[in-house]
Amino acid sequence: MSDTASTSTRTALIFGGSRGIGAAIARRLAEDGLQVGLTYVSRPDKADDVVASIEASGGTAFAIRADSADPVAIRDAVQQTVDRFGGLDVAVVNAGVLRHGPIETFSLGDLDLTLAVNIRGVFLAIQAAAGAMRDGGRIITIGSNTAIRTGFAGGSVYAMSKAAVAAMVKGAALDLAPRGITVNNIQPGPTETDMTADLIGGIIDLVPLKRVGQPQEIAALASYVAGLEAGYMTGASLTIDGGFVL
Q: Catalytic residue numbers?
A: 158
For the sheet with 138-142, list strands across it: 61-65, 35-40, 11-15, 90-93, 138-142, 182-188, 237-240
Neighbour count for residue 80 (Cβ, 10 Å)? 16
Strand partners, 14: 38, 92
DSSP secondary structure letter of residue 117: I
Sign of the alpha-carbon dihedral angle for 236, 241, 242, 246: negative
DSSP secondary structure letter of residue 210: S
Within the chain, where are the H helices?
3-7, 20-31, 44-56, 71-85, 108-114, 121-132, 156-176, 215-226
3-state DSSP assignment of residue 13: strand
Sign of the alpha-carbon dihedral angle for 5, 9, 15, 19: positive
How many angstroms separate the CA atoms of 92 and 26, rounded? 9
How many angstroms separate the CA atoms of 244 and 206, rounded? 6
How many angstroms separate the CA atoms of 133 and 36, rounded? 14
